[in-house]
Chains A and B, each alone.
Chain A
Amino acid sequence: MKKAFSILLVMLLLIAVSGTIFAGGNQEEPAAGDSADSNAAPAAEAKDKNGGVLVFARGGDSVGLDPARETDGESYYGCTQVFDNLVEFKEGTTEVQPALAESWTVSDDGLEIVFKLRSGVKFHDGTDFNADAVVFSLGRQLYEDHPYHEYGPWKYWGYMDMSNIVQDIIAVDNLTVKFILQKTEAPIIANLAMDFAGIVSPAAVEKYGEDFPNNPVGTGPFKFVSWKKEDSMVFEKNADYWRRPAYLDRLIIRVIPDATARYLALQKGEVDIIDFPSPEDLEDMKANPDIKVIQQEGLNVGYLAFNCDKEPYTDKRVRQAMNYAVNKDEIIAGVYGTAGAPAKNPIPPGMWSYNDSIEPYEYNPEKAKALLAEAGYADGFSTTLWAMPVARPYNPNGRKVAEIMQAHLADVGVTAEIVSYDWGTYLEKTDHGEHDAALLGWTGDNGDPDNFLFVLLSIAAAEVPAGNIAFWKNEEFNSLVEEAKVTMDVAKRTALYEEAQVVFHEEAPWLPIAHSVVSEPMQNYVMDFQLSPVGKRQFYNVWLDN
């Protein structure tokens, strides 16, 4: 008895000690300097912005650094520094502007695009950038008999369906490239701003062959120096950049997999910017005077798709009732926290043509019940509710979202049984239409509304394996997005997409849930860093105010 008591005592002591340790670790350190000053320094212009090393910490390593070969965001973080494209997204927007191409002209039928290239641009290996390099970079993906075609698979080229859009890419002269298209396709300009269309040095690809993804050579603002797998990548300033050179001397991209450990490294000053903070730490970060947090809505949407081929979702009143029955605010608060904002449209708010005049379905169980009764389901019905097994920015916890929905649906008499499979099986079964209602989402690629509305909701996309897992085949909506696809004028396209969103809202093939919100915490002295809606991390304009 006495022994047991003393053991208990020792344990209590240990717990007490560890408790104080924890408290000690959380203590606020006195602020070093007044952060308000450094934030709003008007004298910034007078300062020399050049110099310094920036360390950026992210959650995972790149797979490789050949922009056309990779498909994951972590790889693009590296590629973006090294490569330029013919056209690019203006920093912080989805607007397309000239880059390695000074200008371009589109023929009247929309089937020929001629790019005029910038002269005097050199790759990091000293070779010249010219029309041949453009034909090489994109041609290796297009032509199956290209000597470097086998170094693929060129997945993104495939995802964007480029082989069914582009017929031929021709070097007209040293600084002119002509694209001949199979069909008019307005989003192709935006496609060419995507990472996969980055221009690589043909000489370097020939030199390194299969090892090029470990030795990338482009024309970008930073040159690749070294890469330690799962640890860090080093880039240095390209002093001969075709624009003003970057301000930073070096850029180091480090891997710190755990979000809390990333924040601790930021607090200690080992790193300058961190990716994907854990939502629980955000309040603490905002209160920290040495750290600032930048936020932006991501180019994505999480949704619940109703299988319109199956009863009772063939009836639009049932689909509308489901939209009224679920309280999205509770889902945001319970699952997304500060990392999500409620969705009302199938495209995110940062994208051009987002129709903000649409009134979202409010949370109204009574209205839901009335609509169900009208549709002949006064006593409700039973359905399966499919929950994604993986975390995605647009839906960090499919299971939990499904459980909250299940409770809300029960209130209006709908019995939902939650179903889940491993990710591969889940995708396969949903794109074959085996579900009643399924949670899924989409992250945009090229900032073009076509990339959401056509890919996820057109009639063509309802063919197995379907991108349109609502199997919603609406002629009116479809003709609008089809027309927008072949219209080159942006103002006309905007009007078409705005109208398509009205149809979508009325027909309710989905219950749009949320768009993720990306937060990027950094040291106060990191200046002019901008988040990109297409998910890039650019450091060309960044400088250090210390």
Chain B
Amino acid sequence: MGRFILKRLSLLIPTLLGVVTLVFFMIALSPGDPARVMLGERANKQQLEALRADLGLDEPLGVQYGLYLKRVVKFDFGKSIKSGRPVMEEIKNLFPATIELAFFAMIFATVLGIIIGVLSATRKNTWIDYSSMVGALFGVSMPVFWLALVLIMIFSVSFDLLPTGGRMNVRYYFEAITNFYVVDAIILLFREGDPKYLGSALKHLVLPAVALATIPLAIIARVTRSSMLEVLKQDYIKTARSAGIKERRVVYRYALKNALLPVITIIGLQFGLLLSGAILTETIFAWPGIGKWLYHAIEARDYPAVQGGVVIISTTFVLINLVVDILYTIVNPKIRLQ
């Protein structure tokens, strides 16, 4: 087991180097002078030259790449051109919001997705099966911004149950500690005994998490269903059934465990995708995450911010995949030997 993990970890280095290099050249070779974009309509010649020198854009590409690699190794992406603040500091402020939202969305999607998948597999060709699969199709193809606005109209404006957006009631003047608001609110609950922060943090999570979860939920439900159908056809299930073991036990103990293998892969991939930031969900729910920030950074040609954001997200993505691989070997020890 230890050797397996070590081997996987050593594979991380070339993967990440590839990502880092790709990011650099994609940006460096894309058209448009960043100094020009940043200074806008008002730029004059001296300002343009000064800014280009400032950004190191007047150095040869090779030199720029070398300097960049040297800094990336230390997770130093320099300062954002737009704000002048260190990129890592901005990421530390915003990435926790994205992780928190993605985490809750994935829990929702996983639990509900597996339940729906198992139900439709065990009740194949009944109305439960049809309606949940149509629902899944709907979930995959529905535009997220539309769903998000409908959710706000119903649950915030009409029924007044949940807030329209943000992470916390702004009138609470809440001071973040870790920037994971649920964690911070729990700390405050113990420290001050006031549950209002936790209530507010959770309330603010509900709608964006549901909106963000629809696509992964639908995918997980579909994969669970087909995987379950596959497993339920196998001989050992037939044997178990003919041995008179209760159907419930057959399905949940014997079949589901094996059927979950492909589902775990999907969950890992989807979680990784959500971490790259959900621009639409973040925009509509005013969720201060990394997706929208990165989008604006790309738009503004804020090179250091784009590099930092993409490298951090890719690293997280790769790490999650590593965790999935390890989980895999726990569920199915055969894989370790290959």
A residues in contact (CB < 8 Å) with B: 3, 6-7, 10-11, 14, 18, 21-22, 24-27, 53, 55, 60, 63-64, 69, 153, 155, 158-159, 210, 213-214, 225-226, 228-232, 234, 252, 254-258, 260-261, 264-265, 267-268, 270, 422-425, 427-428, 440, 442, 465
Contacts and interface: CB of A to CB of B under 8 A. Distances in A.
Interface residues of B, number: 63
Interface of B: 31-34, 36-37, 39-48, 50-51, 54, 82-85, 90, 93-94, 130-131, 134-135, 138, 145, 148-150, 152-154, 156-158, 160, 163-167, 170-171, 173, 175-176, 282-286, 288-289, 292-293, 296, 301
Contacts of A422: 31-32, 37
Nearest to A69: B84
A264 B160 CA distance: 11
A230 B293 contact: yes
Contacts, number: 151
Nearest to A24: B158
A221 B296 CA distance: 32
B6 to A, nearest CB: 38
Given A257-B286, A424-B301, A53 B164 contact: no
12 contacts: A25-B154, A25-B157, A158-B44, A213-B83, A229-B288, A230-B292, A231-B167, A254-B166, A264-B164, A268-B156, A270-B163, A423-B32
Given A230-B293, A268-B164, A254 B39 contact: no
Given A252-B170, A465-B45, 4 more contacts: A55-B171, A153-B50, A155-B47, A229-B93
Given A425-B32, A427-B43, A10 B131 contact: yes
Contacts of A21: 150, 153-154
A60 B289 CA distance: 13
Contacts of A425: 31-33, 36
Contact of B33 (A232, A264, A428, A442): A428
Contact of B288 (A53, A231, A260, A267): A231
Contacts of A226: 173, 175
A424 B163 CA distance: 39
Given A14-B134, A53-B171, A230-B94, A158 B47 contact: yes
A10 B134 contact: yes
Contact of B138 (A14, A210, A257): A14
Contacts of B36: 424-425, 427-428
Given A24-B158, A229-B288, A261 B170 contact: no
**Interface-centre pick from B158, B167, B289 (highest chain A CB count, 10 A):** B158
B84 A213 contact: yes
B157 A267 contact: yes
A421 to B, nearest CB: 8
Contacts of A232: 166, 170
A231 B152 CA distance: 18
Nearest to A236: B173
Contacts of A3: 130
Nearest to A63: B83
Contact of A229 (B45, B94, B152): B94
B154 A424 contact: no
Given A14-B134, A255-B288, A159 B32 contact: no
Contact of B164 (A6, A225, A234, A265): A265
Given A264-B157, A427-B43, A64 B32 contact: no
A256 B170 contact: no
